[in-house]
Amino acid sequence: GYYGYDHDDYQKTADWLLSQTKHRPQVAIICGSGLGMLADALKCQDAFHYTDIPGFPQSTVQGHAGRLVFGELKGKTCVCMQGRFHMYEGHSLCKTTFPVRVFKLLGVETLIVTNAAGSLADGLKPGDIMIIKDHVNFPGLGGFNPLNGPNDDKFGPRFPAMSACYNPGLRCLAMDIAKQQGVAELVQEGVYAAVGGPNFETIAEAKLMHRLGVDAVGMSTAPEVVVAVHCGLRVFGISLITNKAEAFSSPPNLLSARDTSRCRSPGI
C-alpha cells in the first residue's frame, strides 16, 4: 500500500518550528555532504537537532550533522539544513523530501540545494562548482517519485511541469557573481543526474550517463527539487565537484578474442 504524509503532518512540524523561533525564513538552504559549514555563516542563530523536531526524519550519513539552523544571511532570513536525507538510507522518497514542504509552510519562497557530485564532463574537475541548469532524475524515470500517491492539491497540481525547475534568473545572477568575485574559471552550468546509490557507478554506467548528456552525478537533490517545484518554490542548485568518474580514460568496451594483449589471464 501507499505510505505517506497528510497535510497535517507537515503543518504540525511547521507550527512547532514557528513556535520555537522568531525567524520567518524567505530562503531555505539544503547543505550537501561536507557542506554543512554554510550554516555557520548565519547570524543570530536558532538551531534545532533533527531528533528534537516533532515529525522530522533523522540523519544517518557521515558529513550530515542533522541540525536545522535559522538565522540571517546578508539581510535575508534563512533556514539551513545541516544534513539531508537520501533514499539509500532506507527512507521513502516522501520522507527524504519532508522538510521541503515544511519550508513551504514556514513561508519560504526560494530553495537553494547544494550537493557533492562526481564529474562526468571533460571540463569539470574536482574543486569546480557546477550551477545546475537541469537534471535527469533516474529513480523518478523508473517510478520512484516523492509525488507518488494521492496528490495534495494544497501543495500543487497532479501533473507538475518540470521544464524550468532551476530558475533562469538566479542561474544568471550566480554566473555574474562568480565573475565579480574573480572565480569565473571555477564555475560552469551543467546537468546533474540523480541515481539511487549507495554504490558509485560502474564504468559502463558512467559512460552511459556521459553519452546521455549528464555532466555531474550524485545520489540526492532531484527528489527535493521535484517537490519544491510542485509547491511553487523558486529553486537554485549547485554541485561541488568532489571527484571525477574515471569513464574517459577507460578502454573501449568491445574486445576481440583475436587480440588479448589487453587481458591478463590468471592461467588455467
- What residues are designated binding site for phosphate? 33, 64, 84-86, 116, 220
Quick one: what does residue 220 bind among ligand R1P, ligand HPA, none, with the CB cut-off 5 to 8 Å set by partner type? ligand R1P
Rounded to whole angstroms, how far apart are CA atoms 215 and 210? Answer: 7
Q: Strand 43-49 to strand 234-244: parallel, antiparallel, or no bridges (unpaired)?
A: unpaired
242 binds ligand HPA (CB under 6 A): yes
**What is the sign of the dihedral through the CA atoms of 38, 40, 41 and 44?**
positive
Stretch touching ligand HPA by CB under 6 A, among 17-25, 56-64, 67-75, 211-219: 211-219
CB closer to ligand R1P out of 21 and 119? 119
Rounded to whole angstroms, how far apart are CA atoms 119 and 196? Answer: 17
**Residues between 110 and 129 that touch ligand HPA (CB under 6 A):** 116-118
Rounded to whole angstroms, how far apart are CA atoms 25 and 73? Answer: 10
33 binds ligand R1P (CB under 6 A): yes
Task: Give residue for cell 525564513.
Answer: 25
Q: How far is CA 87 from the centre of its chain?
A: 12
Rounded to whole angstroms, how far apart are CA atoms 180 and 186? Answer: 13
Query: Which of residues 14, 167, 220, 245 is near ligand R1P by CB under 6 A?
Result: 220
Rg, Å, the chain Cα set: 20
Rounded to whole angstroms, how far apart are CA atoms 256 and 237? Answer: 44
Query: Which of residues 25, 32, 71, 139 is near ligand R1P by CB under 6 A?
Result: 32
Stretch touching ligand R1P by CB under 6 A, among 1-9, 139-147, 149-157, 216-224: 216-224
Task: Give residue for cell 519544491.
Answer: 228
Quick one: what does residue 71 bind among ligand HPA, ligand R1P, none, with the CB cut-off 5 to 8 Å set by partner type? none
**Could you list the residues that contact ligand HPA (CB under 6 A)?**
116-118, 200-201, 217-219, 242-243, 245
**Could you list the residues that contact ligand R1P (CB under 6 A)?**
32-33, 84, 86, 115-116, 197, 218-220
